[in-house]
Amino acid sequence: MTKEYMFPDDFLWGSSTSGPQSEGIEPGDGKGMSNWDYWYSVEPERFHGQIGPEKTSTFYKNFAQDLDLLVETGHTVFRTSIQWSRLIPQGRGEVNPQAVEFYRQVFQGVRDRGIQLYVNLYHFDLPYALQEEGGWESKEIVWAYEAYAKVCFQLFDDLVDRWITFNEPIVPVECGYLGDYHYPAKVDAKAAVAVGYHTQLASALAVRACHENNPEKKIAIVLNLTPAYAKSQDPEDLKAARIAELFQTKSFLDPSVKGHYPEELVDLMEEYGLTPEVTKEELQIIANHTVDFLGVNYYQPLRVQAPLLEYQDGDLLVPDHFFAPYDMPGKKINPHRGWEIYEQGLYDIALNLRDNYGNLEWLVTENGMGVEGEEVFKDHGRIQDAYRIDFVKGHLKELHRGIEEGSNCKGYMMWTFIDCWSWLNAYKNRYGFVELDYESQERTIKKSGLWFKEVSQANGFLEEE
425: number of CA atoms within 13 Å, CB side? Answer: 13
Maximum distance among all alpha carbons in the chain?
A: 63
Site map (CB under 6 A) of ligand BG6, residues 20-39, x = contact:
-x------------------
**DSSP labels, 410-429:** EEEEEE-SB----GGGTTSE
Site map (CB under 6 A) of ligand BG6, residues 368-397, x = contact:
--x---------------------------
Cα torsion angle, 39, 32, 201, 282, sign: positive
286: number of CA atoms within 13 Å, CB side? Answer: 24
Neighbours of 408 (CB within 10 A): 19
98 near ligand BG6, rule: CB under 6 A: no
Q: Known catalytic residue: 405? A: no
- Looking at the Cβ atoms of 15 and 167, the one nearer to ligand BG6 is 167
User: To the nearest whole angstrom, how small is the minimum distance from the Cβ of residue 175 to ligand BG6?
Assistant: 10
- Looking at the Cβ atoms of 209 and 228, the one nearer to ligand BG6 is 228
Cis peptide before 416 (omega within 30 of 0): yes
Instruction: Exactly one of 23, 137, 282, 366 is catalytic; name it.
Output: 366
Q: Select from 23, 66, 125, 168 the one that contacts ligand BG6 (CB under 6 A).
A: 168
Q: Select from 422, 432, 445, 447 the one that contacts ligand BG6 (CB under 6 A).
A: 422
174 near ligand BG6, rule: CB under 6 A: no
- Looking at the Cβ atoms of 224 and 407, the one nearer to ligand BG6 is 224
Instruction: Exactly one of 168, 282, 374, 398 is catalytic; name it.
Output: 168
User: To the nearest whole angstrom, how small is the minimum distance from the Cβ of residue 74 to ligand BG6?
Assistant: 22
- Looking at the Cβ atoms of 319 and 370, the one nearer to ligand BG6 is 370
56 near ligand BG6, rule: CB under 6 A: no
Q: Select from 81, 297, 300, 456 the one that contacts ligand BG6 (CB under 6 A).
A: 297
- Looking at the Cβ atoms of 34 and 96, the one nearer to ligand BG6 is 34
248 near ligand BG6, rule: CB under 6 A: no
The whole-angstrom separation of Cα 230 and Cα 418 is 36
Neighbours of 73 (CB within 10 A): 25
The whole-angstrom separation of Cα 168 and Cα 366 is 10
Nearest CA to 299 out of 162, 155, 395, 191 is that of 395
Q: Please give the sequence-ordered ranges of beta strands (E in DSSP) within 58-140, or none if there are none.
A: 77-81, 116-120
- Looking at the Cβ atoms of 225 and 230, the one nearer to ligand BG6 is 225
User: To the nearest whole angstrom, how small is the minimum distance from the Cβ of residue 56 to ligand BG6?
Assistant: 11
Q: What is the dihedral of CA 323, 324, 329, 333, to 10 degrees?
A: 90
Number of residues this chain uses to bind ligand BG6 (CB under 6 A): 12
Site map (CB under 6 A) of ligand BG6, residues 109-148, x = contact:
----------------------------------------
Q: Select from 429, 433, 436, 445 the one that contacts ligand BG6 (CB under 6 A).
A: 429
The whole-angstrom separation of Cα 11 and Cα 455 is 12
DSSP type of residue 276: P
Q: Give yes or no for a contact between 339 and 303, defined as CB atoms under 8 angstroms apart.
A: no
Residues in the chain: 465
- Looking at the Cβ atoms of 425 and 459, the one nearer to ligand BG6 is 425
User: To the nearest whole angstrom, how small is the minimum distance from the Cβ of residue 332 to ligand BG6?
Assistant: 17
Q: Known catalytic residue: 168? A: yes
For residue 414, give Cα distances in angstroms to 9, 17, 284, 301, 396: 19, 9, 35, 17, 11
179 near ligand BG6, rule: CB under 6 A: no
- Looking at the Cβ atoms of 119 and 230, the one nearer to ligand BG6 is 119
User: To the nearest whole angstrom, how small is the minimum distance from the Cβ of residue 80 to ligand BG6?
Assistant: 12
The whole-angstrom separation of Cα 349 and Cα 347 is 5
The whole-angstrom separation of Cα 432 and Cα 452 is 12
Does residue 458 sit in helix, strand or coil? Answer: helix
Using the contact rule CB under 6 A, the part of the chain among 252-260, 270-278, 306-314, 421-429 near ligand BG6 is 421-429
| 164: phi then psi, degrees, rounded to nearest 5 | -135, 135
Q: Select from 15, 56, 167, 251 the one that contacts ligand BG6 (CB under 6 A).
A: 167
Residue whose CB is nearest to ligand BG6 in the complex, by number = 422
Compute the C-alpha angle 175/231/392, nearest 5°. 65
Binding site for ligand BG6 (CB under 6 A): 18, 21, 167-168, 224, 297, 366, 370, 415, 422, 425, 429
Residues belonging to the active site = 168, 366
